[in-house]
Copies of this chain bind each other. A is one copy, B any other.
């Protein structure tokens, strides 16, 4: 019984990974459940023993990557201590490393979540907003403590634009970062941490 469950879990996991690869490459609407099945050595009908629908698989993928992102960001914040500069650098660096390490899952999560049915999409939108708020809060706290400066920029609530700039820098890094290139992922993550400080510190 337990053994059966673990085999089942493996199949479900294999489908999950096939979804990562195929959604990443062809997009959600561009991927066929028969392609997903073939990538797992299964028949289309068999997928429905493991996921209720194609939507369901997409949500599983997007939800898991959000779980991991939350964990990574919480860990970065915890190990950074109290200073807003250390916190921002840790957040930007860890988020960048996260996106470099999981280019498939993060691209799918950021590009294809719009195809989720309304209820599940709302759930994802809420999680995305929470990540935005995490960065914006650190920026605002840093401004309050006089370490960051946004009022100088002359635009009201420049914090939102600045945090989106930092977020987009991290979120889309895998679209240009070349794992076989000269730079390592750690280098690039550290570099993004410093660029985030440039954005905030002025």
Tell whether, in the assembled complex, residue B169 and residue A172 are in contact, meaning their CB atoms are under 8 Å apart.
no
- Among A40-48, A60-68, A183-191, the stretch that binds chain B is A183-191
Proximity string of chain A (183-202) to chain B, C-beta cutoff 8 Å, 1 when within and 0 when not: 10001101110110011011
* Residues of B contacting A115 in the complex (Cβ-Cβ under 8 angstroms): 27, 30
* Residues of B contacting A160 in the complex (Cβ-Cβ under 8 angstroms): 176
Residue A144, interface by CB 8 Å: no
Chain B residue at minimum C-beta to C-beta distance from A149: B198
- Which listed residue, B29, B157, B173, B182, touches A183 by the CB 8 Å rule? B157
- Which listed residue, B27, B161, B192, B202, touches A161 by the CB 8 Å rule? B192
- Considering the chains assembled together, what is the distance between the CA atoms of A160 and B191 in angstroms? 11
* Residues of B contacting A172 in the complex (Cβ-Cβ under 8 angstroms): 164, 168, 172
Chain A stretch 117-135: residues in CB contact (< 8 A) with chain B = none
* Residues of B contacting A165 in the complex (Cβ-Cβ under 8 angstroms): 165, 168-169, 192, 195
Q: Which of A183, A187, A191, A201 has the most CB atoms of chain B within a 10 A radius of its CB?
A: A191
Chain B residue at minimum C-beta to C-beta distance from A188: B161
Residue A153, interface by CB 8 Å: yes
Given A182-B156, A187-B155, A190-B155, A195-B27 contact (CB < 8 Å): no
Shortest distance between the CB of A163 and any CB in chain B (Å): 9
- Can you report 23 A-B residue pairs in the complex whose CB atoms are below 8 A from each other? A26-B29, A29-B30, A111-B111, A153-B191, A155-B183, A155-B188, A155-B191, A157-B182, A157-B183, A160-B176, A161-B188, A161-B192, A164-B172, A164-B176, A165-B192, A168-B168, A168-B172, A169-B169, A198-B198, A198-B199, A198-B201, A198-B202, A199-B199
The 10 nearest A-B residue pairs measured at CB? A29-B30, A165-B169, A29-B29, A155-B191, A168-B168, A168-B172, A155-B187, A164-B176, A198-B198, A161-B191
